Amino acid sequence: MAEGSGVPQSAPRPLIIDCDPGVDDCMALFAAAASPEFDLMAVCTVAGNVRVETCTANALGALALAGRGDVPVYSGCQTPLSVEPVFADHIHGESGLGCAVLPPPQRGAEPVDAVSWLIETLRTADTPLTLAITGPATNLATALMEAPDITAGIAEIVVMGGADLEGGNITPHAEFNVYADPHAAQIVLACGRPITVIGLDTTLQLRCTPARMDRLRAIGSPAAHAGWDMMAHVNAIYGEIYGAEGAALHDPCVILYLLRPDLFTAEPARIAALTEGEMRGHSSVTRGSPDANAVWTTGIDAEAAFDLLLERIARL
């Protein structure tokens, strides 16, 4: 209980982040690292935006910059379950960080791989844990295949992935995270635990416009400067490829949702990831289905969400 408040304070939510940093993953890590609402147990990495070794180094660097070098990082799957690997270094840059240079990490990755750690941790959890997945879902899908009983240790999963009305950002039909490992996405969607899916329909509404970039730079901290350098690179690429002003802040939406679900609109849906052919990675979303297996977000209060993101980064 906060001294003198008379209001009970809820315990921090145990949180595991599974990611592929990546510019927007780093922004999500900054937000999570600055949020006392979370007990950030670990960060797991997976091949996605760049190769897993680079993702792991980036996660370690982002946590060091955020003053959270205490958080362990577990390196995960190097390849998808069944398809050939694809990467997004054409967007994020060869380093995955755009123009940013992160400080040397305070520690290395843990000797245990991410899948083994997830299995052991979810099997032995005293209370079910929350998983935030902002990259391909390969790590959790592999763990579920090897140890189906771990679902008892999962309270909820919040995923950045998929697209419905917005089509796709890697093909006309598919969002990158689902396209990169559609079989993993489908395994996670079918796992039977509460899942919220935040796709392009929502994330493209939260853009790092020039005015918002100015506000990020004005914070003046090393984390804010690194975030600005990352987003400036991606903004330039977005302008060239998509003709858009301001890159979307996809992955921070997961952390923002966990902090403030009231900033989002959402509805139950039946969601499946298509795994074959031209439609590989497409998200089949049937809203209001009586067989709903997830919650699908459809919108975000972008101004309030960006305010919250900046408020958290300013704490670092």
212 lies in a domain?
Answer: yes
Q: What pairing do the DSSP bridges indicate for beta strands 294-300 and 264-273? A: antiparallel
What is the mean pLDDT of the segment spanning 108-119?
98
**Sheet architecture: strand order including 13-19:** 73-75, 38-45, 13-19, 129-133, 154-160, 195-198, 294-300, 264-273, 283-287
**Beta-carbon contacts of residue 139 (< 8 Å; ≥ 6 apart):** 18, 44, 46, 76, 77, 114, 115, 118
Per the document, the length of the chain is 316
Q: Could you tell me the residue range of the domain that residue 217 belongs to?
A: 13-313
Q: What pairing do the DSSP bridges indicate for beta strands 264-273 and 283-287? A: antiparallel
Phi/psi for 203 (5° steps) reads: -65, -30
* 250 a catalytic residue: yes
Query: Model confidence over 287-304: pLDDT tens digits?
Result: 999 999 999 999 999 999
pLDDT of residue 295: 98
Measure the CA–CA gap between 281 and 172, rounded to whole angstroms: 10
4 lies in a domain?
Answer: no
pLDDT of residue 149: 98
Beta-sheet strands, E only, within the chain:
13-19, 38-45, 73-75, 129-133, 154-160, 195-198, 264-273, 283-287, 294-300
173 lies in a domain?
Answer: yes
**Which residue from 62, 54, 44 is spatially nearest to 102, judged by alpha carbons?**
62
Q: How many domains does the chain have?
A: 1
Amino acid of residue 201:
D
34 lies in a domain?
Answer: yes
Measure the CA–CA gap between 60 and 43, rounded to whole angstroms: 9
CA angle 295, 297, 302 (to 5 degrees): 150
Q: Which run of H or of E encompasses 272?
A: strand 264-273
Tell me: pLDDT of 1 over 50: no
**Which residue from 132, 115, 273, 269 is spatially nearest to 189, judged by alpha carbons?**
273
Query: Model confidence over 228-269: pLDDT tens digits?
Result: 999 999 999 876 667 778 999 999 999 999 999 999 999 999
7 lies in a domain?
Answer: no
Measure the CA–CA gap between 71 and 30, rounded to whole angstroms: 12
Structure tokens belonging to residue 282: 């497409």
1 lies in a domain?
Answer: no
Percent of the chain with pLDDT over 70: 96
Q: Confidence class of residue 4 from pLDDT cuts 50, 70 and 90?
A: very low
Which of 92, 183, 233, 250 is labelled catalytic? 250
pTM of the model: 0.95
Structure tokens belonging to residue 312: 């958290």
Query: Model confidence over 153-203: pLDDT tens digits?
Result: 999 999 999 999 999 999 999 999 999 999 999 999 999 999 999 999 999
2 lies in a domain?
Answer: no
Tell me: pLDDT of 131 over 60: yes
220 lies in a domain?
Answer: yes
pLDDT of residue 179: 98
Cβ–Cβ < 8 Å for 162, 45: no
CATH of the domain at 190: 3.90.245.10
